[in-house]
Amino acid sequence: LSLDATFEQSEDNLRSPICCIMGHVDAGKTKLLDCIRGTNVQGGEAGGITQQIGATYLPAEKIRERTKPDATLKVPGLLVIDTPGHESFANLRSRGSGLCDIAILVVDIKCGLEQQTIESLNLLKMQNTKFIIALNKVDRLFGWKKCPNAPIKKALKQQSEDVLNEFNIRLTQIITQFKEQGLNRELYYTSKKMGETFSIVPTSAISGEGIPDLLLLLVQWTQKTMVEKLTYSNEVQCTVLEVKVVEGHGTTIDVIFVNGVLHEGDQIVGPIVTTIRALLTPHPMEELRVKGTYLRHNEVTASMVIKITAKGLQHAIAGTSLYVVRPDHDLEDVKEAAMADMKAVMRRIDRSGEGVYVQASTLGSLEALLHFLMSPDVNIPIGGIGIGPVHKKDVMKAGVMLEKKREYATILAFDVVVSQEAAELAKAVNVKIFSADVIFHLKRKFEAYIDELKEEKKTEAAAHAVFPCVLKILPKCIFHRKNPILLKVDVLEGIVKVGTPICIPQKDFIDIGEIASIENNDKPVQIAKKGQEVTIKIVGTNDEEKQKMYGRHFELDHELVSHISRESMDVLRANDWDELSREERTLVEKLEYIFKMNGAS
């Protein structure tokens, strides 16, 4: 697609930067969002978790109200993504790269860098997204004097020496932790030079200290250093956030509209080709998900989160880019560009086709999940993928693995609903479905299942494993000659276990039955080892064996050995080999050789 350069690249022609919030759980991401928006979602929602996708638009004048009346703001406003955290960030991608212009990484000043802080850092690095560090919860420093909504320098001036001491100690520790991650970060106001190094802003999401600094730095940093990225372009850049049915509108899509201009009547291309019926936006300073009327527009200019109504949107896929066909564009070229996103994800699938079936809510979350599953330390092979709710057809696709590798007849469902029909079918055909809305939990569930299968196999195998033994019958200790044969033996070599088939290694092997019980000094035992004298009871497992009799088919000077078949050898090698001593292994090989020479099965 050609980029029409009708818009001049200049600081006077900028779109609003898009900002998202990352950090460890409980660092204060939601509270900080509330504070920025001036709402109280954290208090109102169950567990403080925000589930829906949305964004808040802060127009420049609102930012000025919160900061300085004379602040130089060149961008029209700031678009803040409402869903904090990894998964939403991973989904906020556009044409293969990160969609956020800037991020806020929230760090609890009392906890420092935590596991998810590091994970966030890695994601930010991966998508090459610049970030500001909100060193949050300063009001929790012991003795902190609240200065609601004050700039941080002003607030710090009000604090006692003790508070300042604690602040400095914790700050230094956290700066060191960032250094350990290879990042050189300092308090933002220690230098006039704006940039990555000077990006720590102490904040309180409760009493608002440092929030003016955070807002101002977000805007001023982006408008100064990202001019190219933020300059308006004619090329529409737009990603589908959510596909949903709205009463009166049919299936609509919420899109994050990063750049360009959209009009009613524009032809758009995603997985479908359609025409925009209506462009709807939320009111400024409100969220898209707050119920109410929408503003309808003939034309909208980025950046915005907008709702689009059109025919055929039920085929849209969250996480994919939308393209607009202009008069000078070739529809086929545009369609191809639209498919590129999907194809990039498809390419990740194991070519052998052997692997689990992975289903996620959006293309972005699917991509994040695949990325995780295929990383070297997880390494779960993927046989198929899908987006959206799990239906019967997905279970059928996963079921193909039942014949090949049972453990892969599995659906890992990430953040999607499983239809009841699908669940029933899965149960009936024995396809496992694991659902979770945290990627890591899916991995844990799947691994636990694999372990369970392994255990099952081992138990099954144990029944077939035959340990090697050579037994010498002791004279005057034949208590019963025929089924059950009861006699006392000296374990010459190897291990005797209950369940071991016993034979007489003559020219033709004479199978005499299985060991039903072992007694050592009148006590029943499961196992006896070389050098022990034990009484064994041998029971015939078929009519022929039941006929075998001491004195007729075998004598005192015959050795009794375990009958090791080819199959039981394989089982032994696969499961218990490590448990055998070197001597025992040699014995297995010796017996195996004898059996082979005698043509036994």
Which residues of the chain form contacts with ligand GDP (CB under 6 A)? 23, 25-31, 42, 48, 84, 136-137, 139-140, 204-206
Shortest Cβ 141–ligand GDP spacing (Å): 10
Shortest distance in whole angstroms from residue 294 CB to ligand GDP: 28
Which lies closer to ligand GDP via its Cβ, residue 53 or residue 345?
53
Distance in Å, CB of 208 to ligand GDP, minimum: 9
- Backbone region of residue 335 per phi and psi (left: phi > 0; alpha: psi in -120 to 50; beta: other values): alpha
Q: Which is nearer to ligand GDP, 154 or 596 (CB)?
A: 154
CB of 49 to ligand GDP, least distance (A): 8
Nearer to ligand GDP, 27 or 425 (CB): 27
CB of 437 to ligand GDP, least distance (A): 15
In whole angstroms, the minimum distance from the beta carbon of 148 to ligand GDP comes to 12
CB nearer ligand GDP, residue 29 or residue 37:
29
Of the two residues 43 and 265, which places its CB atom closer to ligand GDP in the complex?
A: 43
The residue at minimum Cβ distance from ligand GDP is 28
What residue type is assigned to position 13 of the chain?
N
Residue 503 is which amino acid?
A: C
CB of 104 to ligand GDP, least distance (A): 11
Nearer Cβ to ligand GDP (116/225): 116
Looking up tokens 């589908």, which residue turns up?
A: 240
User: Taking the complex as a whole, how short is the minimal distance between the CB of residue 170 and ligand GDP, in angstroms?
Assistant: 14
CA 376, chain centre distance (Å): 14
Torsion of CA 372, 373, 376, 380, to 10 degrees: 170
Rounded to whole angstroms, how far apart are CA atoms 500 and 511?
A: 11
Our CB check for ligand GDP shows the closer of 55 and 238 to be 55
Say how far apart CA 349 and CA 541 lie, in whole Å. 50
Biggest distance spanned by C-alpha atoms of the chain = 112
Question: Are 411 and 395 contacting, i.e. CB atoms less than 8 angstroms apart?
Answer: yes
Residues 209, 211, 214, 216: is their CA dihedral positive or negative? negative
CA distance 294 to 389: 28
Shortest distance, position 140 Cβ to ligand GDP, whole Å: 5
Instruction: Tell me, letter by letter, the H, E, C secondary structure of 156-190.
Output: HHCCCHHHHHHHHHHHHHHHHHHHHCCCCCEEHHH
Q: Residue 109 Cβ, how far from ligand GDP at the closest point, in Å?
A: 9
What is the arrangement of strands in the sheet containing 186-187, beginning at the earlier edge strand? 55-59, 77-81, 18-23, 102-108, 130-136, 198-202, 186-187
In Å, how far are 21, 50, 113, 348, 531 from 30, measured between CA atoms?
Answer: 9, 8, 18, 34, 70
Q: Which of 81, 94, 102, 93 minimizes the C-alpha distance to 289?
A: 81
Q: Which is nearer to ligand GDP, 105 or 401 (CB)?
A: 105
Q: Judged by CB, which is closer to ligand GDP: 27, or 538? A: 27
We find the least distance from the C-beta atom of residue 118 to ligand GDP, in angstroms, to be 15
Residue 66, φ and ψ in degrees, nearest 5: -85, -20
Question: Can you read off the two tokens belonging to residue 571?
Answer: 């089982």
Amino acid at 523: K
Minimum distance from residue 34 beta carbon to ligand GDP (Å): 7
Query: What stretches of 409-507 adopt beta strand conformation (E)?
Result: 410-414, 432-436, 469-480, 485-497, 501-504
Q: Which phi and psi angles does 60 have, rounded to 5°?
A: -55, -40
**Residue 30 or 362: which CB sits closer to ligand GDP?**
30
SS3 115: helix
Q: Residue 40 or residue 275: which is nearer to ligand GDP going by CB?
A: 40
CA distance 374 to 103: 26
CA 325 – CA 332 distance, rounded (Å): 10
- Say which DSSP state 238 is in: E
Rank residues 84 and 364 by Cβ distance to ligand GDP and give the closer one.
84
Q: Which is nearer to ligand GDP, 136 or 233 (CB)?
A: 136
- Tallying the residues shown for the chain, one arrives at 601
Supply the minimum distance, in Å, between the C-beta of residue 47 and ligand GDP: 8
